Structure 1
Amino acid sequence: MRKTQLLWLYSLAVWLAVSCEITKTHMLNERMMKSAVYLSPELAMKPGSVFDKYYYNIDFPTGHIGIKSFNAEVVDEAGVPVSLQDTYLHHWVVIRYYQRIGSEHKNLRSVSELSQQTDFIWVKNNGLCQKIGQYFGLGSETRKTATHVPDPYAIEVGNPNEIPHGYEEKWLVNIHAIDTRGVVDRLGCTECRCSLYNVTINEFGEPISPDYVGGLWCCYDQTQCKVKEGFAHSLRRLYLRYTVKWFDWNESLLPVQIYIFDVTDTWKKSNGHHHCKIEYEISPCDSSAMAANECSDTKKISFDMPRGGYVIYGVAHQHSGGTGAALYRKDGRVICSSIPSYGQGSEAGNEAGYIVGMSTCYPDPGSMKIRDGETLVLESNYSASQKHTGVMGLFYILVAEQVPSQNTILVL
């Protein structure tokens, strides 16, 4: 009995010592972490107007760093958060790229144009969709969605060994906002219903198919959603305020890879090609389904994960009407699920009818591993009580190749 007690006391002492060291390490981390708040260029908005521009070489931390979080929101000239009921934040995305030193800045309209420039190299995430290459990005849910990368992990950028000779690392932001003050149909404007925008061609001058009733093709930059007759067209100057937290890179940090999946991906094992449509449409259910309280739309796809690892974070992106999304294994075991929360009021961060946050998952270290080549399933669910256009079903995960050892934790 005495030997057992001594072993128990020894184990307790070791656990307390490690716990104290981890606590001290955490305090040290907080002191070492850096943080900066930036403002985007101005968003000039009037009732019904659409802002959808790309800004290059935005303010961003420099050097070889490990990013711990990236948060953003729309604010006015006084720095006051703006309600989604006035200005709907359709999405914001931040993209990493390399620019040839000494080359001229080019104000391009899209990331596809960026890919065609010899002086610019688009550095994409590890996801399977070529069109969805951003490092960071959310939409209306941005204020109440956690983006923190748990210790000892971080998103590594600025590594001089990875930047091609003669280039430098840069960042750009695309902000898509819709001013809904005084519009005749607020939901219709935010869902980019073509009839409300009175457009027949997309931003590239191509004709829009009559079958396309709503989505990104109809609410591009400088288009105008229908406003109530006589409503005052007051100009408003807004900004995307974004906060970045990071560490200077050191050997105790473990890098993670960003993967973004799209439920509209048409991938088939037979051809291996990933074609992501990004958005899709929800048709309203019939009266019998509504009466039986089964009025929902479920869309799912399967795909093979090219390279596995340990999942340390996950979150979905959906639009109004979304009821949640999940990433799971072929046998049905859930890897990560994400559920939207809807606002109940009118103040910024609690706007009724809008998704104001998405739940996130942080699996215990080492508990959720994806195998190389494993088949995964992505499912996106929406309410079908009414028609929805231009909705999305994206899923972001962060994947690490290794889990932290005790030594890794202690030397942070």
Structure 2
Amino acid sequence: MMKETHTRKFLVCRCCFAGEDGLWIRMASYPSIPIYISNFTSYLSSGNGIKTDVFLSPKFVLEPGSVANKFYYGIDFPRGHIAIKSFNAEVIDEKGNPVPLHETYLHHWIVLGYYKREGENTLERCGDTGLLQSDSNLIRNSGMCDHGLVQYFGLGSETRRTATDVPDPYGIEVGNPADVPAGYEARWMLNVHAIDTRGAVDKLGCTECRCDLYNVTADENGDALPLNYIGGLKCCHDGVRCRVKVGFRGERRSLSLRYTVTYMDWDASIVPVQIYILDVTDIWRKADESTGLTATHHCLIEYDVEACPFGAENGGCIHTKSLTVSLPTSGDVIYGVGHQHAGGIGSTLFGEGGNVICSSVPTYGTGHEPGNEAGYIVGMSTCYPSPGSVKISAGETLTLVSNYSSAQRHTGVMGLFYILIADSSLKPAASFQHSPAQVHMNTMTSYLGWSIALFGVGLILALILIYSGRNGYEEI
């Protein structure tokens, strides 16, 4: 049991150690009195306020030059009918330390939901996309692509410094029992694509999956690559290796994706949002009522940027790709963010008439530490319009523009744009508010390591204190 104290002194953790079921903490103010919280998850998870679960993916092993493109089904995920308020992730080592992008490049991670028959645990992966055997089993976002980009959550190298918070009173609704088919249960899948670039002869080329650096001529299914395919996802599938410097030696190491889900129990005061992912490579065909043709969206997901002509002004070397498309629904835009790779200089979503719905620009790292790695995109700016201030009408023509520097060639780049849209007719409840943030610590292993435990120490100390008071882009 936690020892109660009524001091108003600021408490500093001097020594903290995770036990099998709880957490020992020793305060600098009281070094002779260790405090044991026997079940700190329950201690922090009372009430109906904001909650945060921290999970670990299964481990994946990398060595210099190697690629892991893993699909994990039935992953840990918050249970019940809830509203997701944010979803964040990063690659960590076995000690829980964040791994920098210049060692392990996080090409992407995505999370999507699906329905599975209750009690059934057969192999679920199908094909190089990692999708299920039947698309009808997927819990898809609202669009736009017919195949691929169906995820609810997902980012890449920018994950550590990109805001994913859904503002009040909105939430991403998951776990509604009314949506689950009879005899099925909702589950979640995680895809992690990571590339170890330690000792690489060309780090940028490895992260852009240049086929010559991987010595790959066939995709994951063994099908020959198109003659004009010089780089992209087809060349850096699971298990292949990028070229490293002769004589370079580096240890094999086990890594995990640590993902953090912030949420709250669903109630009538929460306004649900729809997730739309737009892809600048979308080959869109409009619906034609006269012929009965429905709209189609063939998303290529990636594309190449050719280098500008020799001798051109560096400032004028900009490659622009655009998409004109319309959404089938209407509503208020409450969040927006772009996704680009190295070389990206920003993307903008325009409404009909040229008004800016959201502009998202990358932040490039300038240092060496995780979250600030020089030459890598470490964050994307986000848009949070005031509720009701930015609207999209059903059928409105939207234009997505993705800009890249073409001072050098880039392969396998992306120009995606995430937006969250709320039904304009659903009015926010005036009384909507949360309780203080709470933290649950969960892993897919039975032992809770040092780093995961320490993640919650600061919040634990804050709660104890409250209780005592009451009572620039460059080549990589």
Q: TM-score, normalised by structure 2?
A: 0.78
Residues 343-370 of structure 1: CA deviation (Å, up to 9, x unaligned)? 0011000000000000000001100110
- Give the 3 Å change call, closer, same or farther, for CA 93–179 of structure 1 in structure 2: same
Q: Output the CA distance in 2 between the equivalents of 1:411 and 1:150.
A: 12
Shift of 1:286: 1.1
Q: Output the CA distance in 2 between the equivalents of 1:47 and 1:30.
A: 47
AA aligned to 1:280 is Y
- Paired residue for 1:364, among 386, 391, 413? 386
Contact 2:124-2:132 within 8 A present in 1 as well: no
- Paired residue for 1:320, among 316, 319, 342? 342
- Paired residue for 2:252, among 223, 235, 246? 235
2:239 matches 1:217: no
Shift of 1:111: 7.7
Contact 1:54-1:107 within 8 A present in 2 as well: no
Q: Output the CA distance in 2 between the equivalents of 1:365 and 1:107.
A: 40
Q: Which moved more, 1:324-333 or 1:68-77?
A: 324-333
Aligned to 1:3: none
Shift of 1:32: 1.0
Q: Output the CA distance in 2 between the equivalents of 1:351 and 1:163.
A: 42
Structure 2: unaligned runs, 5 residues or longer: 1-45, 434-476
- Paired residue for 2:108, among 91, 109, 115? 91
- Give the 3 Å change call, closer, same or farther, for CA 156–379 of structure 1 in structure 2: same
2:419 matches 1:397: yes
Shift of 1:116: 2.4
Q: How does 1:11-410 map to 2 (within 5 A)?
A: 32-110=49-127, 114-117=131-134, 121-129=137-145, 130-269=147-286, 272-290=295-313, 293-402=315-424, 405=427, 408-410=429-431
Contact 1:335-1:368 within 8 A present in 2 as well: yes
AA aligned to 1:124 is R
Shift of 1:402: 2.8
- Give the 3 Å change call, closer, same or farther, for CA 224–109 of structure 1 in structure 2: farther
Residues 162-199 of structure 1: CA deviation (Å, up to 9, x unaligned)? 10000001001000000000011100000000000001
Q: Output the CA distance in 2 between the equivalents of 1:351 and 1:112.
A: 29
Q: Output the CA distance in 1 between the equivalents of 2:174 and 2:305.
A: 38
Shift of 1:113: 5.8
Contact 1:300-1:380 within 8 A present in 2 as well: yes
- Give the 3 Å change call, closer, same or farther, for CA 358–99 of structure 1 in structure 2: same
Q: Output the CA distance in 1 between the equivalents of 2:318 and 2:253.
A: 38
Q: Output the CA distance in 1 between the equivalents of 2:237 and 2:151.
A: 19
Aligned to 1:23: none
Task: Indicate the structure with greater helix content.
Answer: 1
AA aligned to 1:309 is G
Shift of 1:110: 4.8
Shift of 1:273: 1.6
Q: Output the CA distance in 2 between the equivalents of 1:220 and 1:174.
A: 12
AA aligned to 1:341 is T
Contact 1:318-1:394 within 8 A present in 2 as well: yes
Shift of 1:58: 0.5
- Give the 3 Å change call, closer, same or farther, for CA 167–30 of structure 1 in structure 2: closer
Contact 2:84-2:261 within 8 A present in 1 as well: yes
Q: Output the CA distance in 2 between the equivalents of 1:89 and 1:202.
A: 20
Shift of 1:104: 2.4
Residues 261-313 of structure 1: CA deviation (Å, up to 9, x unaligned)? 0000011336632110000000000135325x211000001011111110000
Q: TM-score, normalised by structure 1?
A: 0.89
- The secondary structure found in structure 1 opposite 2:398 is strand
Residues 352-393 of structure 1: CA deviation (Å, up to 9, x unaligned)? 000000000000110011001111001100000000000000
- The secondary structure found in structure 2 opposite 1:205 is coil
Contact 1:316-1:393 within 8 A present in 2 as well: yes
Contact 1:191-1:215 within 8 A present in 2 as well: yes
Residues 50-86 of structure 1: CA deviation (Å, up to 9, x unaligned)? 0001000001000000000000001111111110000
Aligned residues: 381
Contact 2:111-2:188 within 8 A present in 1 as well: yes
Contact 2:144-2:277 within 8 A present in 1 as well: yes
- The secondary structure found in structure 1 opposite 2:366 is coil
AA aligned to 2:59 is E
Q: Which moved more, 1:315-324 or 1:230-239?
A: 230-239
Contact 1:365-1:403 within 8 A present in 2 as well: no
Shift of 1:210: 1.9
Structure 1: unaligned runs, 5 residues or longer: 1-28
Q: Output the CA distance in 2 between the equivalents of 1:243 and 1:156.
A: 17
Q: Output the CA distance in 2 between the equivalents of 1:172 and 1:280.
A: 26
Contact 2:331-2:393 within 8 A present in 1 as well: yes
Shift of 1:103: 1.6
AA aligned to 1:284 is A
Residues 134-173 of structure 1: CA deviation (Å, up to 9, x unaligned)? 0000000000000000000000000000100000010010
AA aligned to 2:153 is F
Residues 188-220 of structure 1: CA deviation (Å, up to 9, x unaligned)? 000000000001110011100121000000000
Contact 2:367-2:374 within 8 A present in 1 as well: yes
